[in-house]
Amino acid sequence: MWTWFYRLASPPHVYRTAALLTPWFMTAAAVAIGYGLIDGLVFAPPDYQQGDAYRIIYVHVPSAWMSLFCYTAMATAGAIGLIWRIKMAHAVAAATAPIGASFTLLALLTGSLWGKPMWGTYWAWDPRLTSELILLFLYIGVMSLRPAFEEPDRGDRAAALLAVVGVVNVPIIHFSVVWWNSLHQGATIVKLDKPSIELSMLWPLLSMGFGFMCFYGAVLCIRLRGEVLNRERRAGWVREAMKS
Amino acid sequence: MKGGGFWSMGGYAQYVWPCFAFACTVLAWNLWAARRYHAEALLRAKRALAMNGE
């Protein structure tokens, strides 16, 4: 039953599986993002209050979702690496960090550009914006901590620990609009009640979200292959792979 | 949405289009950086192999 789990810990298996999955993820991402862009920019109706400015939602929300998803994935991989001492889990965490940081930066930039016409300012020290900015700092901290140690294992453990501790920020970001007074609007899609967004606007958004997720999968696979090679370059299987 | 209305985004073009440009840039950077990272790792692995005389 646990064979699949043990195989995930095998570097050659991870290296080969990542190579196989990359084109599938990339194709799915291209189709979903392509559909989401066309439907969201051309066919979805303008919002009755925000007009066409709301179309920023099609890049802002998926990037914000991914910023949280990547952090949770990084912290989970870090925890697995800490508990079961699986090297590949640390490799997944290391490969995820720059991707998650870039999505967080994108969420902050697009949110800022959306804020100007709607709130009259590019930035406010609002709970949602501030906690998202803290998320970016956490990503930068995790990325900086790993290479700060001479021994890679210690760097992996320190980065994993920071990632696990920092995961407390994820529910804070999500519930910040509920717990505190915020300029940012409340939850529109991820909530117990049904989504408060019209279906013709929702479908392209879900498609973009799925596309961003698949894109993360593709980029993770490519980065993970580099990460595995860097960690295993003196291993026998790498020598065999290089010769063939 | 048709013609000029599409590009003007109801008067919000200066906010909408830069967002999509940033998104394209971030996605393109991710792909480029990941491929470069993998290519550099491959090169290092090949060098390690060559240094061992294999």
**Residue A45 DSSP label:** P
Q: What residue spans define the domains of chain B?
A: 3-51
The first and second tokens of residue A15, run together, are 């290296």
Q: Is B20 close to A230, i.e. CB distance below 8 A?
A: no
Cα–Cα distance list, B38 to A52, A145, A182 (Å): 40, 21, 42
Taking residue A85's Cβ as centre, other Cβ atoms within 10 Å add up to: 13
Q: Is residue A12 part of a domain?
A: no
Q: Is residue A228 part of a domain?
A: yes
Q: Is residue A6 part of a domain?
A: no
- CA nearest to A36, candidates A51, A53, A21, A57: A57
Q: Is residue A234 part of a domain?
A: yes
**Complex ipTM > 0.95:** no
Q: How many domains does chain A have?
A: 1
Is the pLDDT score of A87 beyond 70? Answer: yes
Q: Is A219 close to B30, i.e. CB distance below 8 A?
A: yes
Q: Is residue A29 part of a domain?
A: yes
Taking residue A234's Cβ as centre, other Cβ atoms within 10 Å add up to: 11
E strand or H helix at A201: helix A199-232
Q: What is the pLDDT of residue A165?
A: 97
* pLDDT tens, residue by residue, B3-54: 668 889 999 999 999 999 999 999 999 999 999 999 999 999 888 888 876 6
Q: What is the pLDDT of residue A7?
A: 75
Q: Is residue A4 part of a domain?
A: no
Confidence band for A68, pLDDT divided at 50, 70 and 90: very high
Amino acid at A59: V
**Residue A125 DSSP label:** -
Q: What is the pLDDT of residue A96?
A: 98
- Identify whether the C-beta of residue A136 lies closer than 8 Å to the C-beta of residue A105: yes
Q: Which residue from B minimizes the CA distance to A63?
A: B23
Q: What is the pLDDT of residue A20?
A: 97
Q: Find chain A residues with C-beta within 8 A of B10's C-beta.
A: 46, 51-53
Q: What is the pLDDT of residue A193?
A: 67
- Identify whether the C-beta of residue B11 lies closer than 8 Å to the C-beta of residue A51: yes
C-alpha to C-alpha distance for A136 and A129, rounded to whole angstroms? 11
Give A35's contacts (C-beta < 8 A, 6+ positions apart): A204, A207, A211
- Identify whether the C-beta of residue A211 lies closer than 8 Å to the C-beta of residue A62: yes
Confidence band for A4, pLDDT divided at 50, 70 and 90: confident
Max Cα-Cα span within chain A? 63
DSSP string, A135-198: HHHHHHHHHHHGGGSSSHHHHHHHHHHHHHHHTTHHHHHHHHHHHS--SS---SSSSSSPPSS-
Q: What is the mean pLDDT of residues A127-143?
A: 96
Cα–Cα distance list, A37 to A27, A96, A102, A104, A114 (Å): 15, 25, 20, 20, 17
Q: Count Cα atoms within 13 angstroms, Cβ side, for B23.
A: 28
Q: What is the mean pLDDT of residues A35-52?
A: 93
Percent above pLDDT 70 for chain A: 95
Q: What is the pTM of this model?
A: 0.93
Q: What is the pLDDT of residue A192?
A: 56
Is the pLDDT score of A116 beyond 80? Answer: yes
Confidence band for A189, pLDDT divided at 50, 70 and 90: low
State the CATH number of the domain containing residue A203.
Answer: 1.20.120
Least confident segment among A172-176, A240-244, B11-15, B41-45: A240-244
Confidence band for A190, pLDDT divided at 50, 70 and 90: low
Is the CB of A239 inside 8 Å of chain B's CB atoms?
yes
Q: Count Cα atoms within 13 angstroms, Cβ side, for A152.
A: 9
Least confident segment among A20-29, A160-169, A230-239, B8-17: A230-239
| Residues forming beta bridges with residue A47, ordered by sequence position | A51
Q: Is B49 close to A215, i.e. CB distance below 8 A?
A: no
Amino acid at A242: M
Is the pLDDT higher at A72 or at B3?
A: A72
Q: Is residue A14 part of a domain?
A: no
Helix (H, G, I), strand (E, B) or coil at A48: coil
Q: Is residue A232 part of a domain?
A: yes
Min distance A190 CA to chain B CA atoms (Å) = 22
Is the CB of B19 inside 8 Å of chain A's CB atoms?
yes
Q: Is B26 close to A103, i.e. CB distance below 8 A?
A: yes
Q: What is the pLDDT of residue B54?
A: 60
Is the pLDDT score of A121 beyond 80? Answer: yes
C-alpha to C-alpha distance for A76 and A119, rounded to whole angstroms? 36
DSSP string, A101-118: HHHHHHHHHHHHHHHHHH
| Residues forming beta bridges with residue A51, ordered by sequence position | A47
Is the pLDDT score of B1 beyond 70? Answer: no
Q: What is the pLDDT of residue A177?
A: 84
Range(s) of the domain holding residue A168:
20-243
Residue labelled with tokens 């439907």: A39
Q: What is the pLDDT of residue B2?
A: 57
Min distance B35 CA to chain A CA atoms (Å) = 6
